[in-house]
Amino acid sequence: MADFRANGDSNSLTNGKEYATPQEFIDSVDNSAWDFATACSSCHVGGGLTNHDREGTRYSKRPTFQGDTTVPLNAYDYTVYEYWMGPADMAANPTDPLYANGMPAHYVNDMGMNNHLNSDGSFVDTDTNPATYKAPGFAPTLAPWAYPYPLDMDGDGEYTTVGVDMPNFQMPNVREIDCMFCHMEGYNNIVSSVAVQMGALNAAPAMGSGMMNMFTQSYLPNIVDSMDVPNIMTGQGTMKVAVLSGNTVSRIKGNPPSDNCRLCHSPTTMENFSDMFDKFLAASPMEFNPLSPFAGPTGLAMPGYDLNAAFIDPSMASQSPTVYAQMDGSWVYGDGSDAGGPFAGMFPMALFQTYKNVTPLSQMSGEMGGNNQPMSGPIYFNGGLDYDQSALKKATIPFPRADFFKRGDLFDDSAQVEAHHSLTCASCHMDTNATNKDQCDPGRGYARLGGVESGTNAVDKTGQDSRNTAKRCEHCHITGKNAEGLPIETYGAGNPTAAHAAAGLTAKITNAIGAEGPFMGDHLDIIDCTVCHMKKQSMAVRALDCTSGNRYPTMIGFQQEKGMMAMFTDPMGLKDIPEADFQTITGLPFPKNMYVNEMNDWSTMPQYDLLKGWWQNGPKFLADGVTPNPDYRRKIYNINMITAILWDNNGAFDANGDGATGVEADSQAPAGMLGFDPWIQRDLKTGPTFADTGFAVVPIGFGDPMDAGNPYGSVYSSQTANGFNPMSDWDYVGVYGGNTMFNTPEQINAYQAFRTGMDSMAGGNKPWDQTQLTIFGGPFQVTHNVVSPSVAVLGTSCNDCHDANSHFFSGGYDMTGSAVPTADTVDMTGIYDINQANGGMVIDISGYNMMQRPVVDYEIVAEPADIITGAEAQSKAGTVHEVEFEEHGCWDGSTFIAYTAATEADLTCLAADAHYVRTTDLSRAEFLYFDEADAHAKATALEANRTLSDYVNAPVAAIDASVPASVEVGATINLVADTTGNDAANTYSWTVNDEAGVLTGSTVTKTFNTIGTWTVTLKVINASGDVDQVSQQVQVAAPAPAADIAVDSPSGLDNSVTFSNLPAHTMLYIIWGDGARERVYDTAASVSVPHNFSASSRYFDGSNYNYRTTVYVYNGSTRVDIKREILTIAP
């Protein structure tokens, strides 16, 4: 809920929404520009929609107010300084209920003045208050000066290219203009994210690129040198500036190295905790610890960690091994062995003092980490010891790389994982020859959801639509051109057309949609290449539990039966030990496969296999906005759904200050879509009690965690062997740190009442009785992890997709992900095969702690008014709809029974009692075909086991009777095929042996120009390639001569004869053929001459009289023509 622009006296069209009071600012601004630049930029380095207000104004485009408090507040110059009451507050105010449970006391922070603004507008500018530990505000450390010399960005030797060359270069103060992030080989995103979150924006590029030591914040010799330049700050003397060494410059690449792309987008592997930091996370976890010597202006610092402690057996050692720092920057254990950890040893295996230290570290002795309690960690957050809510709620959790998170993408050096592993990311995303992106804008597909802004900004007229600029499969494999039709480097990609044809995929048997409407197409017109050529064998995020103000992923794709540690493939570093000697060498009680894990192939998991949904492959029209795009298609794509689980207000008040009440948000939503008025993050964090569970700061309950009568106070207990509170009414915790997860009506109702009570205590007017859980699925298009057909491929058989077991058209798709059960037993049905004595699948897990317990599927049950579900789907035609994934039934406080006709009949759940809703798997059929009258019937029809011949009839070649057997030379006729019994997709071709060439179509036009007898052949080919043909002959003759001599009447001997087509003449000499002769003097071209023919029997043939008549034509004395004809006259 960022600040937004609104019209009014106190609002500017260029400055966006302004706030008259600090309290109004606190109530309305969820994330300021500062928050976006720090928290969001860990993944969204290039900005995106979150860096604009609701009217499209980019925060960085607004003028600043320079800390002038006489003008209204805005979300560019100010942010909210978050503060929750901690132990000191409670001790100082023991009778005030507002100080319990970490109630907020937030302030507006003027980052330029290092101050707080109280809600009444007064300043808090003193040192830390000893009674409350309320620290003063913070000001991020920015670069103080601009590089004064122009930069030749296009390399033409000039410095004046408008829009390209830079007159000067501003030192990066936000991540999106940290050029090193993409272009410096070896850049470290985690280090950069630490600097940014600390507020050291000036140092983030240097730290991330390895030019500055993050611990000493000094430039590293031999990487950065210095030189004297004129002092532009004072105008007098010189000043020293940093200069990159030649070796450092050589690491700056024009095209971003693939490893740099992976920093944000996709991991390679995650074998262990060390891999988690340098191959899996996009942002570092941070603790709020202003007293740390490594804390920045924000009070945030890297937390202490220990990557060994979790695997230390308490019976074998009392604490984890100590890590020592060496003068050369390396790390060792006490025995001198290597203690180097993440990032090729740049970080040690353990770092910093923690509240779990058995023996305090002695930095004077070089001790830098370790000494922690066995089976603790790996991360230790400040505040974890005394449940300091102000510290814990301001901590940030580690978060995975974006496209692993959204799409389950991996990209390592294995063709088994990605066929294009030998290519760089730039090969498809930079070297695309696209004209509608600039040199710093990677090409991207036409995905429906993305973090990069699209199109021209309506206010400042900047930006380009860089969608559809990445290479698609067909660009390299078939056309050799990009989406604009410009030639590209194809890297020798093979053409699969013949293989597609052999599999029947080019058969014209599908109803496709192009820019100009429906047409008969083939499978390649309706299914993206990646659908058939992708293999996913990795983890991914399925849902984000956002109910506490933080985001906690629920994960899929790993061996859930082994518990949370199975998210790591080799957490203990045992993969290289031979299986035969494993137990002997390690002394561990179980076989190797219990400690070394693998990710699951999604295609083997029906509920997790990729969802199939409709989207388009590009814009419907070309750049002019008018011409239909001939390549436009509506296609089926692979989709990974990310489900957000959040609290949404449906009341008649504005929960987040965005100008719309919950009622208005719902009423203004488009048809078929959900409306939102979600609570802002600070409000959400207010309710739960947070704790450190060793991997993240997570909510563990609400209300007093020490009250034994509060079943929701804490899911954990330090008094039990397995760590769980047996009196708790929480059923599940999350796999990403152990956060509590709402799943019953009782939990939801209790929390609503608790939050309404908190609001009442604070004198507010925002009750939670109309707040509901909104469970919304956002579709992310998946295109990576394409593999060779030898590894995996669909489409070699129709039944690869057209089968009820294919997970393509029907079946369920899990929408809520997985969780760790808190009960002492768990039903493992459907997870893995355990045959107990009673034949059941229920196992005893009472002795297992959180990390050891199997991970299971979970669903949410609620009263209908407290839950709403919707997965964003598009139909084949392009309409949008939220598809529900829920079922109605009965709830007895522990068991949900879905209502059906059968439960009505056996009385286990009656319609009258079915007052509850439970989330369920999303119907694949309804997601694909929600616009059909019966989506399930549609899916069933598509799943009938068939071969291509079931869709294709044998061709029948037949020439229509309308085609004549003879024509005159020069005649043009239609050759028409009789299409009776033929498929609409059949092709027709004609050949005639009077000339070369083929005519195509069921009806064609043919002109015969040569006299003779010619063969016309019709060939009909069906979608399977079967052929039938037929031929017939056509006689082509000269035209019949004109009738130059003809009787005027067919009967009667007293008749007349017309002589026509006469050349210029003066006299006709006629020999009538009955013994009479006659001269006729005339000059007309046609002359009718009367004559009474002889009735002699010699001319009679029994039916008619026949006379051989001849006329000689004279022009003067010259004979110019002669004509003869047998005249037949009836008596």
Query: What tens digit of pLDDT does each residue of 765-790 get?
Result: 888 989 999 999 999 999 999 999 99
CB count in 10 Å sphere of residue 371: 23
Q: Is the pLDDT of residue 568 over 60?
A: yes
Q: Is the pLDDT of residue 314 over 60?
A: yes
Residues forming beta bridges with residue 661, ordered by sequence position: none
Q: Is the pLDDT of residue 1 over 50?
A: no
What was the pLDDT predicted at 874?
Answer: 94
Classified as helix, coil or strand, 789 is: coil
How far apart (Å, rounded) are the C-alpha atoms in residues 1027 and 1017?
Answer: 13
How far apart (Å, rounded) are the C-alpha atoms in residues 318 and 357?
Answer: 11
What was the pLDDT predicted at 935?
Answer: 95
Strand runs labelled E in 327-383: 331-333, 350-351, 367-369, 379-380
- Give the mean pLDDT of 664-691: 85
* Residue 398 exposed, middle or buried by CB count within 10 Å (0-12, 13-18, 19+): buried
H/E stretch holding 1034: strand 1027-1037
Full DSSP string of 1101-1122: -SS-EEEEEEEEEEETTEEEEE
* Residue 1098 exposed, middle or buried by CB count within 10 Å (0-12, 13-18, 19+): exposed
Tell me the H-state helices in 525-680. 529-533, 582-586, 662-668
Q: Is the pLDDT of residue 145 over 60?
A: no
Q: Is the pLDDT of residue 908 over 90?
A: yes
Q: Residues 421-450: pLDDT tens digits?
A: 888 899 999 999 988 776 677 888 887 665
Lowest-confidence segment of 196-210, 377-391, 508-522, 691-705 by average pLDDT = 196-210
H/E stretch holding 635: strand 634-649
Contact residues for 1044 (Cβ-Cβ < 8 A; gap 6+)? 1059, 1060, 1061, 1062, 1123, 1125
Tokens found for residue 15 = 């400055």
* Category of 1075 on φ-ψ map: left (φ > 0), alpha (ψ -120 to 50) or beta: left
How far apart (Å, rounded) are the C-alpha atoms in residues 117 and 137?
Answer: 9
pLDDT band at 1025 (very low <50, low <70, confident <90, very high): confident
Q: Residues 147-193: pLDDT tens digits?
A: 555 666 666 767 666 666 655 544 444 565 678 888 999 999 888 88
Q: Is the pLDDT of residue 67 over 50?
A: no
Tokens found for residue 544 = 């984000």
Strand runs labelled E in 927-998: 966-968, 972-976, 987-992
Ordered by start, the domain boundaries in the chain are 22-124, 146-253, 952-1037, 1045-1129
Residues forming beta bridges with residue 917, ordered by sequence position: 862, 888
pLDDT averaged over the chain?
A: 85
The CATH number fitting domain 952-1037, selected from 2.40.110.10, 2.60.40.10, 3.20.20.80, 2.60.120.260 = 2.60.40.10
Tokens found for residue 169 = 């270069």
How far apart (Å, rounded) are the C-alpha atoms in residues 108 and 728?
Answer: 37
How far apart (Å, rounded) are the C-alpha atoms in residues 471 and 829?
Answer: 44
Q: Residues 20-52: pLDDT tens digits?
A: 788 888 888 888 878 877 777 766 665 555 555
- Give the mean pLDDT of 667-687: 84
Q: Which of 141-145, 171-175, 218-222, 716-720 has the highest mean pLDDT?
A: 716-720
Q: Residues 1058-1108: pLDDT tens digits?
A: 999 888 899 999 999 999 999 999 999 899 999 999 998 888 988 999 999
User: What sign has the CA pseudo-torsion 1045, 1049, 1051, 1052?
Assistant: negative
Contact between 691 and 61 under an 8 Å Cβ cutoff? The reply is no
* Amino acid at site 426: A
Q: Is the pLDDT of residue 342 over 80?
A: yes
Q: Residues 600-626: pLDDT tens digits?
A: 888 888 888 999 999 999 889 988 889
The CATH number fitting domain 1045-1129, selected from 1.10.3470, 2.60.40, 3.40.50, 3.30.70 = 2.60.40
Q: Is the pLDDT of residue 763 over 90?
A: no
* Residue 396 exposed, middle or buried by CB count within 10 Å (0-12, 13-18, 19+): buried
Share of the chain above pLDDT 70, in %: 86
CB count in 10 Å sphere of residue 769: 13
- Give the mean pLDDT of 663-667: 83
- Beta-strand relationship, 1105-1115 and 886-891: unpaired
Contact between 698 and 734 under an 8 Å Cβ cutoff? The reply is yes
Residue 279: DSSP 8-state: I
Q: Is the pLDDT of residue 115 over 80?
A: no
pLDDT band at 839 (very low <50, low <70, confident <90, very high): very low
Q: Is the pLDDT of residue 129 over 90?
A: no
Lowest-confidence segment of 748-762, 775-789, 927-941 by average pLDDT = 748-762
Contact between 79 and 34 under an 8 Å Cβ cutoff? The reply is yes
Nearest 5 degrees, angle CA 175-CA 176-CA 177? 90
Share of the chain above pLDDT 90, in %: 43
How far apart (Å, rounded) are the C-alpha atoms in residues 39 and 79?
Answer: 13
What was the pLDDT predicted at 402?
Answer: 83
What was the pLDDT predicted at 133?
Answer: 46
Cis peptide upstream of residue 378 (ω within 30 degrees of 0): yes
pLDDT band at 406 (very low <50, low <70, confident <90, very high): confident
Q: Is the pLDDT of residue 361 over 90?
A: yes
Full DSSP string of 134-186: ------------EE-S-B-SS-SS-S--TTTSBSSEEPPSSGGG-THHHHBTT
Q: Is the pLDDT of residue 905 over 90?
A: yes
What was the pLDDT predicted at 32?
Answer: 81
Contact between 847 and 823 under an 8 Å Cβ cutoff? The reply is no
Classified as helix, coil or strand, 44 is: coil
What was the pLDDT predicted at 149?
Answer: 57
What was the pLDDT predicted at 121?
Answer: 67
H/E stretch holding 886: strand 886-891
Residue 303: DSSP 8-state: P
What was the pLDDT predicted at 132?
Answer: 42
pLDDT band at 382 (very low <50, low <70, confident <90, very high): very high
